[in-house]
Chain A
Amino acid sequence: MERAYKARYYDGHSSMPKTVDIIITENGLHITYSNPDGMISAREWKKAQTRETEFNSSILILQYGESFPYEQLEITDNAFHREYTARRGASLIKRLRTNQGMMLVITGLLTIVAAIALIYIYLLPWAVDIAAKRVPQAYEIEMGKSLYENILKNEKVDTAKTIAINQFFGQIQIEGNYPVHISVVKQDIPNAFALPGGSIVVYSKILEDMETPEQLAALLAHEYSHVQLKHSTRNIFRSLAGSLVISIIIGDFSGATALILQNAENLRSLSYSRTLENEGDNNGLQILKANGINASGMKALFEQLKKASDVEVMEIVSTHPDLDKRIINVETFIEDNPYDVVKNDSLTYYFKTLTADEE
């Protein structure tokens, strides 16, 4: 036996409600109501032409008709909602708005967030590293040159010290064929950084704090390692790719362009990952060993930097974290790699010219 439900009916011409009885049939709805004169009228609504509202949880509205104006039913009986949904099936929106549907939506959103995070954290650096490793040296040199010009635009280069530091570095035998050029810049911050393709920038403050030529050799060996191992290139690619992806995700394309332009400025404070720093340290230690330079110079360098960072919060603090661990790393290297230290007078000579003419 089919059940009859009470509802309010509007004929599409007037807002006056009529109380009607509705029965859900195979083909649609059967609607009956009594007229003021006592006669019973009936309407048949075909399934295909009946539309329903989706967002009011207590009142369901059904509409019917091929052309405007449309007839309308207002049903508050929850039993009708249940039977109607059971027999007709619910729309996608309605199904997604149930508790299970909402769980699905939230799971979907979390999955997307997780996927983006995974891509960003793992896939992107991996792809960027591969790309960076395949970058031709000529391009690296070209890129490094324009970045160098951009960075040194507003800096004061100490010409005499620049000549001396390059002569100093010329005494050290290195592998790889990057055209190394070191510049000393007058800056009161103990910092040094390497650009892709062979340009290395050393701030005068870090030189002032140095006591032995081994410290400088260690610094340059470390920075050169970043060049040789393409760390600088990888880092720039990585920092750019990440920001570019974020800009593209949030649809900020003008921001992406600006990012590339401003990136040159940010390079000086670009920090390497712990892994890259370790690689840089170890490769630097190998260079020191190959040249017979005392590896304790690197330990002294880190101690010098630690002291500087204790005094003030320096940029170096953020770029070279956990100096203690790196000092231990150097100590382990020295223990494991005993080698004869070769006395190099030229290094001492150039180092003296670098540190002598204060004021």
Chain B
Amino acid sequence: MNPANTTNTEAGNNEFSFNGKGSQLLGIMLLNTLLSIITFGIYYPWARVNRLKFFWENAELNGSPFVFHGTGKELFRGFIKVLLFIGLFYGLLFYGKLSGNLTLYFISLLAFLIALIFITPLAIHGAMRYRLSRTSWRGIHFGYRGSRVQLITDFFIGSMLTLITLGIYNSWFTNSLRTYIISNIRFGSLRFGYDGSGTELFAIKLKSAIFSVFTFGIYYFWYLEEWTNYYINHCYVEQNGQRYYFTGQLTGSGYFMLIFINLLLGIFTLGLATPWVIIRTTHFIIRNLQIPAEVDFNLITQTEDEFKDAAGDDLIDYFDLGII
């Protein structure tokens, strides 16, 4: 790509690319490992920042890289908060158990379980705010405007309904969560949105359940194709009151080949190819995600505030929630 051309981007030319190399990622992973060992693990937050920066700085839109502004210090502070939070609730639980008082034990157990229910929405909310706020492109920062109370309430009600309906409600639950979270993402003056429907998601899942039985599970990859493309195709960017939709171009066979070759690479190199596997996967995602051509990325203005509390992001990492 020639960056000189991209200064005056015309509509229809929004190009998203990833230029990170496997060897570079391997170098970062080795570096992170060494520094983590000699600091007895304290380097971990800085190691995570190195990886995140590598991915963002090598992702380019119209020739301009993204920048991740988070620091190891912020993630370290967040991690301490998470530890205190977890310590508090475990402490409460142990105190209740050791006190020998049955009422006290049940109260502490209840508090612990309630905290468990809150952890996921709390983590999503915190991570979205932190990560998006600390990500920028051409100096314009992303942002998340969702309300914590709203997300916790939606999450609680959705989980309960899913439980009561034996999982059937899950499609509608996932869909409403997506709608809420994505519609609260901002990229400066650009607003993101999602308008998929729970009923359609349910239909995709039902179809997959039926087909998978007859195809011995091979249909799974085509389910992923349909599911992911549905998700992407219903995501849009709003500029000047106009909605521009993303296009998902994932194919089941492409997905199958990705997984298959990643698996072979992993087995035959005893895991040494991990960095290349990660890079291949990143390329696969970016290649199959088409950004709406009509959006003029030169006309974005700064709208969001800065947010530096990384606790939510650390919570996601600690519990390995893998939601974002």
Q: Taking beta carbons and an 8 Å cutoff, which residues of A are in contact with B?
A: 8, 10-17, 19, 53-59, 61, 63, 68-72, 74, 76, 93, 96-97, 102, 105-106, 108-109, 112
> Bound complex: CA of A16 vs CA of B139, how far in Å?
10
Q: A96-B31, A105-B34 are in contact. Are A53 and B65 (CB under 8 A)?
A: yes
Q: Could you name 22 residue pairs across A and B whose Cβ atoms are closer than 8 Å?
A: A8-B7, A10-B138, A10-B140, A15-B297, A15-B298, A53-B57, A53-B65, A53-B67, A55-B54, A58-B19, A59-B3, A61-B65, A68-B305, A69-B139, A71-B139, A74-B138, A97-B24, A97-B27, A97-B31, A102-B31, A105-B27, A105-B34
> Bound complex: CA of A12 vs CA of B302, how far in Å?
7
In the complex, how many angstroms separate the beta carbon of B306 from the nearest chain A beta carbon? 4
Q: A16-B298, A102-B27 are in contact. Are A63 and B67 (CB under 8 A)?
A: yes
Q: A55-B54, A106-B30 are in contact. Are A13 and B65 (CB under 8 A)?
A: no
> Bound complex: CA of A74 vs CA of B6, how far in Å?
12
B188 contacts partner chain A, Cβ-Cβ < 8 Å: yes
Within 8 A of A (CB), among B36-62: 37-38, 50, 53-54, 57-58, 60
CB neighbours of B24 from chain A (8 A): 55, 57, 97
B323 contacts partner chain A, Cβ-Cβ < 8 Å: no
> Bound complex: CA of A112 vs CA of B38, how far in Å?
9
Residue of B nearest to A65 (CB): B139
> Bound complex: CA of A105 vs CA of B35, how far in Å?
9
Q: A14-B302, A58-B19 are in contact. Are A109 and B58 (CB under 8 A)?
A: no
> Bound complex: CA of A54 vs CA of B20, how far in Å?
12
CB–CB A55/B27 < 8 A:
no
Q: A19-B7, A97-B31, A109-B34 are in contact. Are A74 and B64 (CB under 8 A)?
A: yes
B28 contacts partner chain A, Cβ-Cβ < 8 Å: yes
CB neighbours of B191 from chain A (8 A): none
Leading 9 A-B pairs by shortest Cβ distance: A72-B139, A15-B300, A10-B139, A56-B57, A68-B306, A55-B57, A15-B138, A55-B54, A10-B138
* B138-177 to A contact mask, C-beta < 8 Å, 1/0: 1111000000000000000000000000000000000000
Given contacts A19-B7, A74-B3, A102-B27, 10 further A-B contacts (CB under 8 A): A10-B138, A10-B139, A57-B24, A61-B65, A68-B305, A69-B302, A93-B50, A97-B27, A105-B30, A109-B30
Contact of A15 among B19, B28, B30, B140 (CB under 8 A): B140
B301 contacts partner chain A, Cβ-Cβ < 8 Å: yes
In the complex, how many angstroms separate the beta carbon of B268 from the nearest chain A beta carbon? 22
Question: Which of B3, B24, B58, B136 is the most central at the interface, judged by chain A CB atoms within 10 Å of its CB?
Answer: B136
> Bound complex: CA of A63 vs CA of B136, how far in Å?
11
* B63-98 to A contact mask, C-beta < 8 Å, 1/0: 111010000000000000000000000000000000
Contact of B139 among A11, A19, A55, A76 (CB under 8 A): A11
In the complex, how many angstroms separate the beta carbon of A36 from the nearest chain B beta carbon? 14
CB–CB B302/A13 < 8 A:
yes
Question: Which of B34, B50, B137, B301 is the most central at the interface, judged by chain A CB atoms within 10 Å of its CB?
Answer: B34
Residue of B nearest to A251 (CB): B41
Question: Which of B37, B50, B57, B138 is the most central at the interface, judged by chain A CB atoms within 10 Å of its CB?
Answer: B138
In the complex, how many angstroms separate the beta carbon of A337 from the nearest chain B beta carbon? 52
> Bound complex: CA of A102 vs CA of B45, how far in Å?
21
Q: A15-B139, A16-B298, A63-B67 are in contact. Are A55 and B58 (CB under 8 A)?
A: yes
In the complex, how many angstroms separate the beta carbon of A207 from the nearest chain B beta carbon? 47
Question: Which of A8, A55, A70 is the most central at the interface, judged by chain B CB atoms within 10 Å of its CB?
Answer: A55
CB–CB B138/A109 < 8 A:
no
B299 contacts partner chain A, Cβ-Cβ < 8 Å: yes
CB neighbours of A15 from chain B (8 A): 137-140, 188, 297-301
CB neighbours of B301 from chain A (8 A): 13-15
CB neighbours of B63 from chain A (8 A): 59
CB–CB A93/B31 < 8 A:
yes
CB neighbours of B139 from chain A (8 A): 10-12, 15, 63, 69-72
Residue of B nearest to A111 (CB): B34
Residue of B nearest to A6 (CB): B4
Residue of A nearest to B9 (CB): A17
CB neighbours of B31 from chain A (8 A): 93, 96-97, 102, 105
In the complex, how many angstroms separate the beta carbon of A281 from the nearest chain B beta carbon? 40
* B12-26 to A contact mask, C-beta < 8 Å, 1/0: 000000011000100
CB neighbours of B137 from chain A (8 A): 15
> Bound complex: CA of A72 vs CA of B38, how far in Å?
35
In the complex, how many angstroms separate the beta carbon of A323 from the nearest chain B beta carbon? 36
CB neighbours of A57 from chain B (8 A): 24
CB–CB A17/B30 < 8 A:
no
CB neighbours of B60 from chain A (8 A): 59
Contact of A56 among B7, B58, B298, B305 (CB under 8 A): B58
CB neighbours of A19 from chain B (8 A): 7
* B256-300 to A contact mask, C-beta < 8 Å, 1/0: 000000000000000000000000000000000000000001111
B33 contacts partner chain A, Cβ-Cβ < 8 Å: yes
CB neighbours of B298 from chain A (8 A): 15-17
> Bound complex: CA of A71 vs CA of B140, how far in Å?
10
CB neighbours of A10 from chain B (8 A): 138-140
Residue of B nearest to A56 (CB): B57
> Bound complex: CA of A106 vs CA of B31, how far in Å?
8
In the complex, how many angstroms separate the beta carbon of A17 from the nearest chain B beta carbon? 5
> Bound complex: CA of A112 vs CA of B297, how far in Å?
48
Residue of B nearest to A53 (CB): B57
In the complex, how many angstroms separate the beta carbon of B224 from the nearest chain A beta carbon? 30
Contact of B65 among A11, A12, A56, A112 (CB under 8 A): A56
CB neighbours of B306 from chain A (8 A): 68
In the complex, how many angstroms separate the beta carbon of A72 from the nearest chain B beta carbon? 4
In the complex, how many angstroms separate the beta carbon of B186 from the nearest chain A beta carbon? 13
Q: A54-B53, A56-B65, A57-B24 are in contact. Are A17 and B138 (CB under 8 A)?
A: yes
* B295-315 to A contact mask, C-beta < 8 Å, 1/0: 001111110011000000000
Within 8 A of A (CB), among B117-141: 136-141
Residue of A nearest to B298 (CB): A16
